[in-house]
């Protein structure tokens, strides 16, 4: 079906609500039909709810209902879109693999959420949602062939061919994190996600610090640890180890992306994830991809930082909930 407005008509009389189930927070916001964020908030997960499917579901439903109720006085919420950090089978309407929120795979999300919220509810991956946001109101406007790379708790991709988001037979396309890459210093092939997810970038950096304690990250580690955002911040401040770890991450990502560029003859690769880290990764990805992809395909393709910030999946999920795919 064409990617045009569905029976949920674009109108100033209603808004859409997008939800991004992130690593540590639920991000959600109301969005108009053009993709403008009207209200946005983050709600932390209580630690106890992450191991209990019902408690986690109840909390997510509670924060969504609260935002719907707050919005009702100005414009009703016509539909809700929810972006998941993993895989979602569009045929069965069930989560397949959610490494950081595994209990949600136990639940019939689609039926349960629609019954509780009283409006249509749409589910997709966070990468597809963010890609759709960039396609409609970000850097990929007017782009027909796009590969959007999401780097966060999972490593996933949104694929746009001929101006349409492509999900494959069951909605499982874009699972680039499961692709195997050969890592020279390990002497073996490993899953890309084990080298390039936010958690694994931190893990690799900690391992490197055992041999190099001159980095500012070593001091942060001694004070209680550091995050992926800390690595990015220290790289921007000139820390050599932080810059090296992001450069190597970009090189690992390029091992997969170069082949995808050659295969699909893409117009654009947009790098998402933590906004401050995107430009650092782009440089490393492009340098390595040019060594590996066909020269003709690389000349056709721009590798760029994604434009929309941390709210990208919220915007995209909201817009997807109001569109026919």
Q: How far apart are CA 242 and CA 232, in angstroms?
A: 7
- Say how far apart CA 61 and CA 116 lie, in whole Å: 8
pTM recorded for the entire structure: 0.91
For residues 211 and 57, what is the distance between their CA atoms, to the nearest angstrom? 43
What's the pLDDT at 49?
64
Closest-CA residue to 127 (of 179, 91, 165, 101): 165
Taking each helix axis as running N to C, give the angle between helix 228-236 and helix 278-292, from 0 to 180 degrees, rounded to the nearest 10.
Answer: 90
> Tell me: the pLDDT tens digits for 52-89?
778 888 889 999 999 999 887 788 999 999 999 989 99
Q: For residues 198 and 152, is the Cβ–Cβ distance under 8 A?
A: yes
Rounded CA-CA distance 111/127 in Å is 23
pLDDT for position 102: 78
| Helix axis angle, 240-264 to 198-209, nearest 10° | 140
Residue matched to tokens 């916001």: 29
Instruction: Give the chain's largest Cα–Cα span.
Output: 61
**β 302-305/155-161 pair status:** unpaired
How high is the pLDDT of residue 22?
84
Each residue's pLDDT tens digit in the chain (325 positions)? 234 333 344 445 899 999 999 877 899 999 999 999 999 999 988 766 666 778 888 889 999 999 999 887 788 999 999 999 989 999 988 888 887 787 788 788 888 888 899 999 999 999 999 999 999 999 999 999 999 999 998 899 999 999 999 999 999 999 999 999 999 888 999 999 999 999 999 999 999 998 877 899 988 877 778 999 999 999 999 999 999 999 999 999 999 999 999 999 999 999 999 999 999 999 999 999 999 999 999 999 999 999 999 999 999 999 999 984 4
Place of tokens 């045929």: 91
């Amino acid at each position: 079906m064409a990617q045009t407005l569905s029976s949920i008509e674009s109108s100033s009389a209603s808004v859409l609500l997008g939800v991004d189930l992130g690593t540590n927070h639920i991000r959600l916001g109301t969005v108009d039909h053009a993709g403008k964020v009207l209200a946005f908030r983050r709600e932390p997960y209580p630690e106890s709810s992450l191991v209990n499917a019902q408690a986690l579901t109840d909390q997510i439903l509670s924060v969504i209902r609260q935002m719907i109720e707050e919005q009702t006085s100005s414009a009703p919420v016509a539909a809700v879109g929810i972006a998941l950090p993993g895989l979602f089978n569009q045929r069965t309407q069930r989560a397949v693999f959610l490494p950081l929120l595994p209990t949600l795979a136990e639940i019939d999300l689609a039926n349960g959420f629609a019954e509780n919220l009283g409006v249509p509810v749409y589910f997709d991956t966070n990468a597809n949602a963010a890609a759709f946001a960039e396609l409609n109101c970000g850097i990929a406007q007017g782009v027909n062939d796009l590969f959007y790379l999401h780097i966060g708790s999972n490593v996933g991709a949104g694929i746009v061919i001929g101006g349409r988001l492509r999900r494959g037979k069951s909605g499982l396309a874009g699972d680039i994190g499961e692709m195997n890459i050969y890592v020279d210093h390990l002497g073996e092939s490993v899953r890309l996600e084990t080298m390039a997810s936010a958690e694994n970038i931190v893990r690799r950096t900690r391992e490197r610090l055992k041999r190099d304690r001159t980095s500012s990250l070593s001091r942060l580690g001694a004070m209680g640890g550091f995050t992926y955002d800390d690595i990015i911040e220290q790289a921007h401040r000139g820390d050599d180890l932080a810059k090296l770890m992001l450069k190597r991450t970009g090189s690992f990502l390029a091992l997969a992306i170069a082949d995808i560029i050659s295969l699909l003859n893409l117009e654009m690769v947009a790098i998402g994830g933590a906004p401050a880290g995107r430009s650092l990764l782009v440089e490393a990805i492009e340098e390595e991809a040019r060594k590996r992809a066909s020269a003709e395909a690389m000349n056709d393709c721009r590798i760029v930082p994604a434009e929309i910030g941390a709210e990208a999946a919220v915007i995209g999920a909201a817009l997807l909930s109001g569109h026919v795919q």
